[in-house]
Amino acid sequence: MDTESREKRVVFADSVQIDKAVMAIANQINEEYKEKSPLLIGILKGSFVFLADLARKLDMAVEIDFIGLSSYHEQKKSTGKISLYCEPSAIIRGRDVILVEDLVDTGLSTSFAVDYVKNEGANSVKLCALLDKKSCRVVDVAVDYFGFDLPDRFVVGYGMDYNEKYRHLKDIIILGDE
Ligand code: PRP
Protein backbone atom coordinates (compact mmCIF):
# COMPACT_ATOMS: atom_id res chain seq x y z
CA MET A 1 0.00 0.00 0.00
CA ASP A 2 1.08 3.57 -0.58
CA THR A 3 3.15 4.39 2.50
CA GLU A 4 2.99 8.11 1.89
CA SER A 5 -0.79 8.22 1.99
CA ARG A 6 -2.24 9.87 5.09
CA GLU A 7 -5.37 7.73 5.17
CA LYS A 8 -5.90 5.50 8.21
CA ARG A 9 -6.62 1.84 7.41
CA VAL A 10 -8.26 -1.03 9.26
CA VAL A 11 -8.70 -4.54 7.88
CA PHE A 12 -12.40 -5.30 7.42
CA ALA A 13 -11.89 -8.80 5.98
CA ASP A 14 -8.60 -10.55 5.30
CA SER A 15 -7.94 -12.92 2.40
CA VAL A 16 -8.81 -16.03 4.46
CA GLN A 17 -12.16 -14.57 5.54
CA ILE A 18 -12.88 -13.43 1.99
CA ASP A 19 -12.09 -16.88 0.61
CA LYS A 20 -14.53 -18.49 3.08
CA ALA A 21 -17.27 -16.01 2.15
CA VAL A 22 -16.71 -16.56 -1.59
CA MET A 23 -16.81 -20.35 -1.05
CA ALA A 24 -20.12 -20.06 0.83
CA ILE A 25 -21.63 -18.05 -2.06
CA ALA A 26 -20.26 -20.54 -4.61
CA ASN A 27 -21.79 -23.43 -2.67
CA GLN A 28 -25.23 -21.81 -2.85
CA ILE A 29 -24.90 -21.12 -6.57
CA ASN A 30 -23.61 -24.65 -7.22
CA GLU A 31 -26.69 -26.02 -5.47
CA GLU A 32 -29.24 -23.71 -7.14
CA TYR A 33 -27.85 -23.76 -10.69
CA LYS A 34 -26.90 -27.46 -10.84
CA GLU A 35 -28.82 -28.12 -14.04
CA LYS A 36 -28.20 -24.70 -15.63
CA SER A 37 -25.41 -22.81 -17.29
CA PRO A 38 -25.71 -19.27 -15.96
CA LEU A 39 -24.24 -16.16 -17.51
CA LEU A 40 -22.18 -14.31 -14.91
CA ILE A 41 -22.03 -10.60 -15.61
CA GLY A 42 -19.48 -8.71 -13.55
CA ILE A 43 -20.12 -5.02 -12.96
CA LEU A 44 -16.85 -3.25 -13.76
CA LYS A 45 -14.52 -2.40 -12.49
CA GLY A 46 -14.74 -3.30 -8.81
CA SER A 47 -16.05 -6.85 -9.30
CA PHE A 48 -13.12 -8.20 -11.34
CA VAL A 49 -11.28 -9.91 -8.44
CA PHE A 50 -14.43 -11.30 -6.82
CA LEU A 51 -15.73 -12.59 -10.16
CA ALA A 52 -12.43 -14.32 -10.91
CA ASP A 53 -12.40 -16.06 -7.52
CA LEU A 54 -16.10 -16.93 -7.57
CA ALA A 55 -16.06 -18.36 -11.10
CA ARG A 56 -13.21 -20.73 -10.19
CA LYS A 57 -15.28 -22.17 -7.35
CA LEU A 58 -18.31 -22.94 -9.55
CA ASP A 59 -18.92 -26.47 -10.81
CA MET A 60 -21.27 -25.88 -13.73
CA ALA A 61 -20.48 -24.55 -17.20
CA VAL A 62 -20.70 -20.80 -16.71
CA GLU A 63 -20.22 -18.03 -19.22
CA ILE A 64 -18.64 -14.77 -18.20
CA ASP A 65 -19.23 -11.24 -19.39
CA PHE A 66 -18.99 -7.71 -18.05
CA ILE A 67 -20.93 -4.49 -17.97
CA GLY A 68 -19.09 -1.23 -17.42
CA LEU A 69 -20.91 1.12 -15.06
CA SER A 70 -19.60 4.11 -13.23
CA SER A 71 -21.26 5.89 -10.35
CA TYR A 72 -19.81 9.30 -9.72
CA HIS A 73 -18.51 9.94 -6.23
CA GLU A 74 -17.74 13.07 -4.28
CA GLN A 75 -15.92 12.72 -0.95
CA LYS A 76 -16.38 8.90 -1.01
CA LYS A 77 -20.18 9.24 -1.46
CA SER A 78 -22.19 8.44 -4.56
CA THR A 79 -23.72 11.41 -6.36
CA GLY A 80 -26.44 9.15 -7.76
CA LYS A 81 -25.33 9.56 -11.39
CA ILE A 82 -24.66 6.30 -13.25
CA SER A 83 -23.06 5.99 -16.66
CA LEU A 84 -22.94 2.90 -18.89
CA TYR A 85 -19.55 2.86 -20.65
CA CYS A 86 -19.34 -0.77 -21.79
CA GLU A 87 -22.20 -3.09 -22.77
CA PRO A 88 -21.96 -6.88 -22.41
CA SER A 89 -21.12 -8.69 -25.64
CA ALA A 90 -23.13 -11.85 -24.82
CA ILE A 91 -26.67 -12.38 -26.03
CA ILE A 92 -28.67 -12.04 -22.82
CA ARG A 93 -32.10 -13.04 -24.16
CA GLY A 94 -33.26 -16.28 -22.53
CA ARG A 95 -30.23 -16.57 -20.23
CA ASP A 96 -30.12 -17.12 -16.50
CA VAL A 97 -28.04 -14.15 -15.45
CA ILE A 98 -26.15 -13.70 -12.21
CA LEU A 99 -24.96 -10.13 -11.76
CA VAL A 100 -21.72 -10.03 -9.79
CA GLU A 101 -20.96 -6.92 -7.74
CA ASP A 102 -18.24 -6.16 -5.24
CA LEU A 103 -20.45 -3.79 -3.25
CA VAL A 104 -24.06 -2.65 -3.17
CA ASP A 105 -24.23 0.78 -1.58
CA THR A 106 -27.06 3.08 -2.71
CA GLY A 107 -28.18 0.26 -5.02
CA LEU A 108 -28.27 2.61 -8.03
CA SER A 109 -25.59 0.77 -10.04
CA THR A 110 -27.06 -2.66 -9.46
CA SER A 111 -30.60 -1.45 -10.03
CA PHE A 112 -29.40 -0.01 -13.37
CA ALA A 113 -27.75 -3.36 -14.24
CA VAL A 114 -30.83 -5.39 -13.23
CA ASP A 115 -33.05 -3.19 -15.45
CA TYR A 116 -30.53 -3.51 -18.29
CA VAL A 117 -30.49 -7.33 -18.31
CA LYS A 118 -34.26 -7.52 -17.86
CA ASN A 119 -34.73 -5.20 -20.86
CA GLU A 120 -32.40 -7.45 -22.86
CA GLY A 121 -34.76 -10.37 -22.19
CA ALA A 122 -32.97 -12.44 -19.54
CA ASN A 123 -34.88 -15.51 -18.42
CA SER A 124 -33.93 -14.85 -14.80
CA VAL A 125 -31.75 -12.38 -12.94
CA LYS A 126 -30.09 -12.83 -9.55
CA LEU A 127 -27.73 -10.51 -7.78
CA CYS A 128 -24.57 -11.61 -6.07
CA ALA A 129 -22.59 -9.05 -4.04
CA LEU A 130 -19.63 -9.64 -1.80
CA LEU A 131 -20.47 -6.63 0.37
CA ASP A 132 -23.90 -5.29 1.20
CA LYS A 133 -24.05 -1.78 2.70
CA LYS A 134 -27.76 -1.89 3.52
CA SER A 135 -27.88 1.31 5.55
CA CYS A 136 -27.03 3.41 2.47
CA ARG A 137 -29.77 2.19 0.13
CA VAL A 138 -31.56 4.78 -1.99
CA VAL A 139 -33.38 2.27 -4.20
CA ASP A 140 -34.75 -1.10 -3.18
CA VAL A 141 -32.39 -3.83 -4.42
CA ALA A 142 -32.62 -7.45 -3.32
CA VAL A 143 -29.22 -9.11 -2.96
CA ASP A 144 -29.70 -12.85 -3.50
CA TYR A 145 -26.18 -13.96 -2.53
CA PHE A 146 -23.87 -11.89 -0.34
CA GLY A 147 -20.74 -12.32 1.70
CA PHE A 148 -20.61 -9.58 4.34
CA ASP A 149 -22.86 -6.89 5.74
CA LEU A 150 -20.86 -3.69 5.58
CA PRO A 151 -21.51 -0.78 7.95
CA ASP A 152 -21.42 2.73 6.50
CA ARG A 153 -17.66 2.78 5.95
CA PHE A 154 -15.57 3.33 2.83
CA VAL A 155 -13.64 0.22 1.80
CA VAL A 156 -10.91 -0.52 -0.74
CA GLY A 157 -8.95 -3.57 -1.87
CA TYR A 158 -10.02 -6.85 -3.47
CA GLY A 159 -10.99 -4.93 -6.61
CA MET A 160 -12.31 -1.79 -4.92
CA ASP A 161 -10.64 1.58 -5.23
CA TYR A 162 -10.25 5.09 -3.97
CA ASN A 163 -9.34 7.34 -6.89
CA GLU A 164 -8.28 4.17 -8.80
CA LYS A 165 -5.80 3.14 -6.08
CA TYR A 166 -5.78 -0.01 -3.90
CA ARG A 167 -7.73 -2.38 -6.21
CA HIS A 168 -4.85 -4.89 -6.10
CA LEU A 169 -4.87 -5.42 -2.31
CA LYS A 170 -5.69 -8.95 -1.11
CA ASP A 171 -7.64 -7.77 1.95
CA ILE A 172 -10.67 -5.49 2.19
CA ILE A 173 -9.57 -2.37 4.04
CA ILE A 174 -11.63 0.35 5.69
CA LEU A 175 -10.27 3.68 4.61
CA GLY A 176 -10.81 6.61 6.93
CA ASP A 177 -9.43 10.12 7.03
CA GLU A 178 -7.04 10.82 9.85
C1 PRP B 1 -18.71 1.09 -6.97
C2 PRP B 1 -18.92 -0.39 -6.70
C3 PRP B 1 -20.30 -0.65 -7.19
C4 PRP B 1 -20.99 0.67 -6.98
C5 PRP B 1 -21.88 0.57 -5.79
O6 PRP B 1 -18.36 1.21 -8.31
O7 PRP B 1 -17.95 -1.16 -7.37
O8 PRP B 1 -20.33 -0.99 -8.56
O9 PRP B 1 -19.98 1.67 -6.73
O10 PRP B 1 -22.45 1.82 -5.50
P11 PRP B 1 -24.01 2.09 -5.59
O12 PRP B 1 -24.73 0.93 -4.97
O13 PRP B 1 -24.12 3.34 -4.75
O14 PRP B 1 -24.37 2.33 -7.01
P15 PRP B 1 -17.86 2.58 -8.95
O16 PRP B 1 -18.99 3.29 -9.59
O17 PRP B 1 -17.08 3.34 -7.93
O18 PRP B 1 -16.95 2.09 -10.12
P19 PRP B 1 -15.75 1.04 -10.08
O20 PRP B 1 -16.37 -0.30 -9.79
O21 PRP B 1 -15.20 1.15 -11.44
O22 PRP B 1 -14.79 1.45 -9.00
CB-neighbour burial class of residue 145 (10 A; exposed 0-12, middle 13-18, buried 19+): buried
> Active site includes 105?
yes
Q: Determine the average pLDDT of the residues in 136-141.
A: 92
Q: Active-site residue among 53, 105, 132, 171?
A: 105
CA atoms within 13 A on the CB side of 15: 7
Distance of CA 79 from the midpoint of ligand 1 (Å): 11
Residue 103 CB–ligand 1 contact under 6 Å: yes
Q: For 98-119, how does the pLDDT look when each residue is reduced to its tens digit (9 = 90+)?
A: 999 999 999 999 999 999 999 9
Residue 15 CB–ligand 1 contact under 6 Å: no
Per-residue confidence (pLDDT) for residue 79, from 0 to 100: 72
Distance of CA 86 from the midpoint of ligand 1 (Å): 14
Per-residue confidence (pLDDT) for residue 1, from 0 to 100: 55
| Model confidence at 168: pLDDT above 90 | yes
Per-residue confidence (pLDDT) for residue 76, from 0 to 100: 66
CB-neighbour burial class of residue 62 (10 A; exposed 0-12, middle 13-18, buried 19+): middle
Distance of CA 35 from the midpoint of ligand 1 (Å): 31
pTM beyond 0.85, yes or no: yes
Q: Determine the average pLDDT of the residues in 59-68.
A: 97
| Model confidence at 4: pLDDT above 50 | no
Q: For 6-55, how does the pLDDT look when each residue is reduced to its tens digit (9 = 90+)?
A: 567 899 999 999 999 999 999 999 999 998 999 999 999 999 999 999 99
Residue 134 CB–ligand 1 contact under 6 Å: no
Q: Is pLDDT larger for residue 66 or for residue 178?
A: 66
Residue 159 CB–ligand 1 contact under 6 Å: no
The full 3-state SS of the chain, as one line of letters, equals: CCCCCCEEEEEEECHHHHHHHHHHHHHHHHHHCCCCCCEEEEEECCCHHHHHHHHCCCCCCCEEEEEEEEEEEECCEEEEEEEEEECCCCCCCCCEEEEEEEEECCCHHHHHHHHHHHHCCCCEEEEEEEEECHHHCCCCCCCCEEEEECCCCCEEECCECECCECCCCCCEEEEEEC
